[in-house]
Amino acid sequence: MLQVVKHSAVLLVLTVLTQLGGLAWLLSLLFRGRLLAFAVLYLSFSAAALGVAPAFGRVGVTCWRDGALQVQSWFYCLTNRTFMAPELLASLEDTAEAVAKRFPETTTLLLDAGFPFGDGFPLLPHLSHADGRKADLAFYYRDENGYVRGATRSPVGYFAFQQGATECPNVWPTLRWDLDALQPLFRNLDLDEERTRFLVSRLSEDARISRIFLEPHLTSSLGLRSAKIRFQGCRAARHDDHLHIELR
């Protein structure tokens, strides 16, 4: 009974984290070398997803791609979280190219997008990344010498917040984590306001994009004006550490 509970827990965690990992773990139980079998099966399923997902209306962004748009961390590729509708990818690629043209040698970093299969399959901890039509981008950062290419303050691009005024009360339940204890651990980089402002402006002008989530204090400090730029609400995660984009 204990073994059933253990394997069920592993299956659940791997499914929630990667979508395909639970199935790979279940099949690996048929082999004597379970961990090796799991690794081979999981990597095979993930590679196959890149070829099969387009038939289900999604394309995957790989971590070995070149160009202005790149994935921020191998974590997102290894966990199958970089899939999205082709139209959304085209918009992000066009925007990244526009940023690189305006600011040469700039790299735009993709964070979470979606899983390869199944509308409605949740991409935790996000509330809305379940249909391949949403994606997150990292902000651009600079140090005392200027823009730092491909850099984020935190290892995964999330949770290093740009502090500012908020009118959110302490409500429960909520995903609005402040994570105060983590903030001193992150890299001492400043927001590259010029690049970030240009990025959001280009996205807001793109007819393919319907909404952009950004914390109000950043919308104000960056001088942005667009009906597409919204506040995500006080129960959702903060959006002064990354940018959330939705396809029309």
Domain ranges across the chain: 1-56, 58-247
* Residue 71 confidence (pLDDT): 98
Strands (E), 11-164: 59-60, 69-71, 83-84, 108-110, 134-138, 141-143, 146-147
* Residue 2 confidence (pLDDT): 78
172-195, pLDDT tens digit by residue? Answer: 888 899 999 999 999 999 999 999
Contact 209, 246 (CB under 8 A): yes
The Cα–Cα gap between 112 and 237 comes to 13
* Residue 94 confidence (pLDDT): 98
End-to-end CA distance of the chain: 48
DSSP state of 62: P
* Residue 172 confidence (pLDDT): 85
Q: Which residues of the chain have pLDDT under 70?
A: none
The Cα–Cα gap between 82 and 60 comes to 6
58-247: CATH topology is Muramoyl-pentapeptide Carboxypeptidase; domain 2 (3.30.1380)
The Cα–Cα gap between 212 and 197 comes to 13
Averaged pLDDT score across all residues of the chain: 96
The residues facing 247 across adjacent strands are 209
* Residue 92 confidence (pLDDT): 98
* Residue 6 confidence (pLDDT): 86
* Residue 17 confidence (pLDDT): 96
